[in-house]
Amino acid sequence: MSSVLQLARPDLLDLEPYAHAAWVPSLERLHANESPWRTLGDNSAAGLNRYPEPQPRALIARLAELYAVEQDRLLVGRGSDEAIDLLVRAFCRAERDSVMIFPPTFGMYSVAARIQGASVVEVPLAADPRFELDVSAALDQWRPGIKILFVCSPNNPTGTLFDRAAVERLCAALAGKALVVIDEAYIEFAAAPSCSQWLNRFPHLVVLRTLSKAFALAGARCGTLIGEPALVQLLRRMIPPYAMPAPTVDAALKALEAPSRAIAHGRIDLVLAERERVARTLAELSIVRRVWPSAANFLLVSFADAEAVLRAGIAAGLLVRDVRRQPGLGDCLRITIGTPEQNDRLIDAARRA
């Protein structure tokens, strides 16, 4: 048995998946109780009257190429959120096992854990000087039963790209002990390669990627889990049988064609330039205490009066994320980089606040 499966819930290892209708595109389908006719206005490639391909091969091939990994390492799902949920359910026994998170961080890790009845061990990031991962503290607090560590890098909401050597040290120390999940939802905005380069060295490493941010497909819901083939096999048996809606697959395939990819890369460059400009401009305002360094498409900003900035933003027709309830972020707002015009309006609002 693959070492990573030794960490999974033993009761799931022989799970018989739902037997979904066979996928044989060369034959006409009288085996899935579908309607043989399309609904009005259905211009989709496969026809919305048909159940979709469970793990669409064409999409997996394109994603494998995009992320430079083998196809049998990929699971596609409805956003990275689905992968987070599947991982917690596959590895954590209710009321016995736990996950480790590094707050302030993305909220879905602890929500998924709570739904599964897994407890959450928190190892806070070291705010001084820049919300860095504390690997020694993580290893000190790790104990058997902590099945998954969720490492979000670049981290939401702080924007921190964690020190690569530190993440590598964490992976090396936990080999055979816990799954290390690196959530790279924002990696396209960072000047760093993906940790999926390490997959051959670390079978317990999982990398999460998404088309929601840099590829402008948040509404389509398409995320990818990259990991050990044996782990991917287990999760493919657990994921709901027709998880990927046909319109999502069509939209993702379109977004991965060369012209859309060229546009996406141009927009990433624009976001990076705007991130620098907004950071520099905000840092000069007296209401701004600190603009945290960001490797993502947003900025975490500490304000002398965050409430006033929030209100001024709303008056200017702009919503920014209030993160003040998160540990260590009592005076912070998270501001997504928008169009240059939106960014100008946001800066004006902060100036007026």
Ligand X SMILES: *Cc1c(COP(=O)(O)O)cnc(C)c1O
CB of 209 to ligand X, least distance (A): 8
Part of the chain binding ligand X (CB under 6 A), chosen from 11-19, 168-176, 210-218, 238-246: 210-218
Identify the residue among 135, 152, 246, 306 touching ligand X (CB under 6 A).
152
Tell me if 321 sits within 8 A of 351, measured CB to CB.
Answer: no
Residue of minimal Cβ distance to ligand X:
79
Structure-token match 């999460």, residue found = 208
CB of 12 to ligand X, least distance (A): 23
**Residue type (1 letter), 350:** A
Q: Does residue 210 belong to the site contacting ligand X (CB under 6 A)?
A: yes
Q: Which is nearer to ligand X, 94 or 218 (CB)?
A: 218
Tell me if 278 sits within 8 A of 252, measured CB to CB.
Answer: no
Part of the chain binding ligand X (CB under 6 A), chosen from 21-29, 75-83, 95-103, 116-124: 75-83
Identify the residue among 8, 59, 149, 185 touching ligand X (CB under 6 A).
185
Identify the residue among 52, 54, 79, 159 touching ligand X (CB under 6 A).
79
Joined tokens for residue 89 = 């359910």
Quote the DSSP letter at residue 55. S
The whole-angstrom separation of Cα 209 and Cα 182 is 9
The whole-angstrom separation of Cα 286 and Cα 302 is 11
- Edge-to-edge strand order for the sheet containing 98-101? 74-77, 223-226, 205-210, 179-183, 146-152, 98-101, 119-122
Distance from the first to the final alpha carbon of the chain: 60
CB of 187 to ligand X, least distance (A): 10
Identify the residue among 56, 103, 223, 313 touching ligand X (CB under 6 A).
223
Q: Which is nearer to ligand X, 152 or 251 (CB)?
A: 152
Helix (H, G, I), strand (E, B) or coil at 239: coil
Q: Bridge-partner residues for 149, per DSSP? A: 100, 180
Q: Which is nearer to ligand X, 98 or 156 (CB)?
A: 156
Q: Which is nearer to ligand X, 223 or 313 (CB)?
A: 223
Identify the residue among 60, 69, 80, 248 touching ligand X (CB under 6 A).
80
Tell me if 37 sits within 8 A of 49, measured CB to CB.
Answer: yes
Q: Which is nearer to ligand X, 158 or 288 (CB)?
A: 158
**Residue type (1 letter), 170:** L
CB of 133 to ligand X, least distance (A): 14
Part of the chain binding ligand X (CB under 6 A), chosen from 17-25, 78-86, 243-251, 267-275: 78-86
Part of the chain binding ligand X (CB under 6 A), chosen from 31-39, 56-64, 73-81, 140-148: 73-81
Binding mask 153-172 for ligand X (x = CB under 6 A): ---x----------------
Binding mask 84-123 for ligand X (x = CB under 6 A): ----------------------x-----------------
The whole-angstrom separation of Cα 179 and Cα 232 is 13
Q: Does residue 183 belong to the site contacting ligand X (CB under 6 A)?
A: yes
The whole-angstrom separation of Cα 254 and Cα 59 is 10
What does the chain come to in residues?
Answer: 353
Joined tokens for residue 189 = 């905005």
CB of 111 to ligand X, least distance (A): 12
Q: Does residue 227 belong to the site contacting ligand X (CB under 6 A)?
A: no
The whole-angstrom separation of Cα 128 and Cα 269 is 29
Q: Which is nearer to ligand X, 111 or 230 (CB)?
A: 111
Q: Bridge-partner residues for 74, per DSSP? A: 226
Q: Which is nearer to ligand X, 54 or 223 (CB)?
A: 223
The whole-angstrom separation of Cα 126 and Cα 251 is 40
Residues that bind ligand X (rule: CB under 6 A) add up to a total of 12
Tell me if 159 sits within 8 A of 130, measured CB to CB.
Answer: no
Helix (H, G, I), strand (E, B) or coil at 180: strand
- What residues line the site for ligand X (CB under 6 A)? 79-81, 106, 152, 156, 183, 185, 210, 212, 218, 223
